Structures are given as structure tokens and as C-alpha cells.
Amino acid sequence: MPPQRTTGARGPQRPPRRDNNPVRRNSPVKTTRPEPRESGPQRIAKLLARAGVASRRDIERMIAEGRIALDGDVLTTPATLLEDLKGVTVDGKPVAPPAAARLWRFYKPAGCLTAAFDPKGRPTIYDRLPGGLPRVMPVGRLDFMTEGLLLLTNDGELKRQLELPSTAVVRRYRARAFGDVSQAQLEELSEGVEIEGIRYGSIDANLERRTGRNCWIELALTEGKNREVRRVLAHLGLQVSRLIRTSYGPFTMLDLDPGQVGEVQREELFRFRQTLKAPPVKK
């Protein structure tokens, strides 16, 4: 077998009060400023993620399953270093060069999964997305009944950058809940809380308004663990009846109706990436 190439070992924003807001179109604008790119050999998992094939973790799994090859030879390690993706195939198909990173805002409706496929046959976001989009990946997840802003991208590295806790991108939510809770209890969440052995980080929570035993609560957090908001509010004795993510970083869904998509302008995306904290270097 020919040798492989070199290897190396303060107050949250509120969503619209109306359900029929007019859509303001977000057309991409041209920009001549190039995005910064790393030079020299890079790990194949990173290159494939940049090309939008899958996340780094999924690519590592695909390599372990023998689905990725270089010049016809099946790769055995995600530490393979390459200058580009020439000669790389996934499931026998050549990989197209990475396109420029793009980002879309999608108002995910309640009642669909943030997944490509559900064995139980439940609808997914890909059943709700409008036609004409390239292959996109969700940034983080929203559970089945949670609605609101879900970012989508064609770039695996951008997806990873937005999801890493170390970049501290703030996610904002509004929750309608049933039960009794005080502002003092909500403010204690700023110190974090441990629930059934899982530690949840600081959450900025404010009681927006109350009607009888129903209330609206605004929350801001940076970790976004699985079902974090629902579990934390349940820990306080509240039953969440509606949960909406209103923003992710500077991006909001204020001009979108459920099921609609708007693309983030390239210049806006470039400026935002310049503000992100650099993730730790993987050795």
C-alpha cells in the first residue's frame, strides 16, 4: 500500500409580539475582504469540516468506519496532514473544495427535530427548510418542542467555533412556565447549579411578567447543554409550556416567521468572527 501523506500524531432581547411580522430580506453583499485562512498542512478532519462534509467528531467516526480514502487508500487516522483535499473521497465520492463560509438564520418551528433523519419518522428541520439552500449544518440544537433561532452554516469550522463554550457566545431564550418562582431564585442561577450530577454554568435569568401562576422568564447563557433551560427551570419547580430561542450572539429572529430563513451578510459575519475568542489549540 502506498504511504499516506504526512501524519501527525444585560436584558435579553424579546421576540416579536405579533405572529405575522413582515419579512425583511437579508441579501448577501459582496465583499472583497478575504476571510483569514491558515497555511500549511492541516488535519484532514479540519479540512473536511471546512468543506462542509460533517463536524470534526463525525469525520473522526467516519474515518474509523473506513469511509474516507486518499488516492484510493483507506485512511486510518484523523491525524493525517494534508495541504488540500485533492484525491480525498468520502464513501467513494470526491470531495469538492470548500466554499466560502456562509451563515443563515432559521426560525425553527416547534414540533421538528434538529437532525437529518429520525428513525421514528418524526419531521426534522430539513423537512421545514425552504428549497434552494446548499448543504447546511445546524449550529447547536433545539429540542423537538423548542422553537426560535437556529443558525445554519455550510462550514464545519464555523459551526465548531460557534458551539465551543470557550468562545462564550451568548444564547438568549424566553420561556413561558407554570408555577411559582421569585426573582431572587432566578438570580441565584448566576452562580450556576448542579442537577443530577450535571453542572450548569452561569445563567442570567429575569422574571419578565406574571399572569396568575403563569409567567414569562428571559434567560441568557453561554453553554447550551442538552435541554439546559427546561431542566434548570424544572429544578425550580416550573413546568415549561413554551420555549423560544430569541438570539444566538448578535443574530436574532425578530424579522422571521416560523419556517423562514434569512442569510447573514458576509461582512456582518466577518466582523462577528473577529470578535470571537480563539479556541484552544488542539495538539
Kindly write down the DSSP assignment for every residue of 122-162, as one continuous string.
Answer: --BHHHHSPTT--S-EESS---TT-EEEEEEES-HHHHHHH
pLDDT at 249: 95
Cα separation values, 25 from 39, 180, 257, 260, 264, Å:
36, 41, 12, 11, 10
Spatial CA neighbour of 141 closest among 113, 174, 120, 103: 113
- CA–CA distance from 128 to each of 53, 103, 114, 161 (Å)? 21, 17, 11, 25
Count of Cβ atoms closer than 10 Å to residue 225 Cβ: 14
What the block records as the C-alpha cell of 76 is 486510518
DSSP reduced 3-state for 177: strand
Decide: helix, strand or coil at residue 203: coil
Q: Name, in order, each residue with C-beta under 8 angstroms of 36's C-beta and a sequence gap of 6 or more.
A: none
- Of the candidates 242, 246, 54, the one whose C-alpha atom is nearest the C-alpha of residue 149 is 246
Would you say 236 and 185 are in contact if contact means Cβ atoms under 8 Å apart? yes
pLDDT at residue number 13? 46
Q: CB of 12 within 8 A of CB of 123?
A: no
Cβ proximity of 175 and 228 under 8 Å: no
Q: In this structure, are residues 12 and 220 in contact, taking their beta carbons and an 8 Å threshold?
A: yes
The reported pLDDT for the residue numbered 3 is: 43
* Cell numbers describing residue 98: 470548500
Q: Which residues are catalytic?
A: 143
Instruction: Indicate the SS3 state at residue 187.
Output: helix
pLDDT by position in tens, the chain (length 283) = 444 444 444 444 444 444 333 333 333 333 333 344 455 788 898 888 878 788 788 899 999 999 999 999 999 998 899 988 889 999 999 988 777 899 999 999 999 999 988 999 999 999 999 988 988 999 999 999 999 999 999 988 899 889 988 888 999 999 999 999 999 999 999 999 999 999 999 999 999 999 999 999 999 999 888 899 999 999 999 999 999 999 999 999 989 999 999 999 999 999 999 888 655 544 4
